[in-house]
Amino acid sequence: MKVVIVGGVAGGASAAARIRRLDEDAQIVIFEKSGYISYANCGLPYYVGGVIEDRGELTLQTPDSFKSRFNIDVRVRHEVTGVHPSRKTVQVKDLESGRVFEENYDKLLLSPGARPTRPPMPGMDSPRLFTLRTVEDTLKIREFVVREKPATAVIAGGGFIGLELAENLMDMGVKVTIVQKPHHLLNPLDGDMASFIHGKFRRKGARLLLGVGVTGFEDREECILTYFDEEHPLCAQMVVLAIGVTPDTGLAKDAGLELGARGSIVVDGHMRTSQPDIYAVGDAVQVRHGVTGQPALIALAGPANKQGRVAADNICGGDSVYRASFGSSVIKVFDMTAASTGINEGAAQAAGLDYEKIVLSPGSHASYYPGGRSMTMKLLYEKKTLRILGAQIVGFDGVDKRIDVIATAMQAGLKVTQLKDLDLAYAPPYSSAKDPVNMAGFMAENIETGKVKQFHWDQLPQLPRDGTVLLVDTRTPQEYQLGHAPGFINLPLDDLRQRAQELPKDKPVYLMCQSGLRSYLACRMLSQRGFDCYNFSGGYRFYRSIAQNQLQEDVNTACGLAH
């Protein structure tokens, strides 16, 4: 059996190695357009910033290592320019010599990945304009930064690559402006959760221009101008375009393969395309979303590697199935971590799901052990079935651990209330006896059993301030003086039991504290005395982050963009 693989990196390289493990006699040929067959794509921004010092560390395998260990014929700088299913050949161009030839196959695996989105705008050919997708892109940016020592940079796009590169440039002393059309960074997060990321970047000195579309670029003698819709242009010494990726599926289209969302390749659970003996994996393929069940494009390394393994198994006569992608992801943001899995609130609304959300701010580990810091967790579940729809966490230590537990629970089909029963490891430096994931389960159970009712930050402006409801902040006077939500009076939790008779029972009581715990205790205390109580989801800490972000956005809107 002869297997030809188009593209390396995560999907193609992992498939090739798996095929060899399953079939020692198979002839395996990989054609890779770039000069690198298998590299740490997610590590590229950290080489630009010097965190990864040796560029050799980015290369996971070389053509020679593939040949010596796996007996795989790897040909870099070879571009496949055509696929001919009828005669089972591919057309290949050797980019070094210019020679064009055909290679036959028994099985073909397409792993072309995705390319940076480059809309047709003026100035896209500027030498000061970069994209970041390959090792070559990384070396080009690194060389420019070291040689030119730019003082300013514009990052167009607030996704994973854009933010990681922004952080690395800022750590090198570059003043960074992040601009994008959406109104918040990191699309997997909702705007309320992204407010913590906005605050971190602003405190570090970055400028955020959100809700602003880029319309083009223009080279000047000392800088490149970035033009916006309805705003003044911005002058910087370099621009990185990171507005997303587009499936690289020209070959598939020309070969007559069925295409799906945004031109992606349609595959079945075995990673087979619409053409016999042709498989496809990675960022170029359409998958089923594990929550909505709808077609989705999820460009992440984890799914690509797993798909490569599934395709390899089936190429070798097995019966492996790739069931779905849940989009679990994590990103480092300076000393913070943001992670998500499943869908966010915006996606749940778009899908027409009847959902409930809970927000909590637990500590990363036991409060009495030094070094603990708060994280904010937002979890969505379907009201009728209690199916977990997704989660978002922003914090410091332990964020990745909790998102992985929730992702596992989702894929195992656990109900949200079953999170309380998970037997998770505990020691004071790592967690609390009631882990944050357990706490999310407890909160969901309390809501579903009617032990607590809640209200959310976006309902605050609608609450009347005419005395028909009671707005109570249960924190200490010292905490209250440092900041509180408008209209809330201070009545500390520890005084509430003695002063409850002062509160009229004919008015609903809306309670808030720092994290949601003390106000929950107040709710339980008052509800058992006949009060109609509502607990604020996420606490004042959550509200403050959202409010400060909205205030900053209002300032940006009022002031416009500087030249």
* Region label for 216, one of left (φ > 0), alpha (ψ between -120 and 50) or beta (otherwise): left
CB 553 within 8 A of CB 202: no
Say how many C-beta atoms besides its own lie within 10 A of residue 458's C-beta: 10
Alpha helices in 412-533 (DSSP H): 436-448, 477-481, 493-499, 517-527
CA contacts within 13 A on the Cβ side of 375:
33
Helix (H) or strand (E) holding 377: strand 376-382
CB 522 within 8 A of CB 472: yes
Write the secondary structure of 15-65 as one string of H (helix), E (strand) and C (coil): HHHHHHHHCCCCEEEEEECCCCCEECHHHHHHHHCCCCCCHHHHEEECHHH
**Among the options 42, 223, 235, 533, which is catalytic?**
42
End-to-end alpha carbon distance in the chain: 62
| Angstrom distance (rounded) from CA 421 to CA 261 | 39
Q: Where are the beta strands (DSSP E) in 211-309?
A: 214-219, 224-228, 231-236, 239-241, 245-247, 265-266, 278-280, 285-288, 295-296
Tell me if residue 168 falls in helix, strand or coil.
Answer: helix
The helix/strand count (H/E) of the chain reads as 15, 33
Instruction: Report the b/e string of 492-504 with b at 16+ CB within 10 A.
Output: bbeebeeebeebe
Enter the tokens of residue 545. 């982050």
Cα dist. 156→102, 178, 179, 186, 209 in Å?
Answer: 40, 6, 5, 13, 10
Query: 153 φ, ψ to 5°?
Result: -150, 145
CB 284 within 8 A of CB 113: yes
Q: Concatenate the DSSP letters of all residues of 75-132 into one string.
A: EESEEEEEEETTTTEEEEEETTT--EEEEE-SEEEE---EEE---S-TTTT-TTEE--
Token match 């397409």: residue? Answer: 110
Q: Catalytic: 42?
A: yes
The burial of 547, by beta-carbon neighbours within 10 Å (0-12 exposed, 13-18 middle, 19 or more buried), is given as middle
| Angstrom distance (rounded) from CA 412 to CA 406 | 10
Enter the tokens of residue 125. 């050919």
Catalytic (active-site) positions: 42
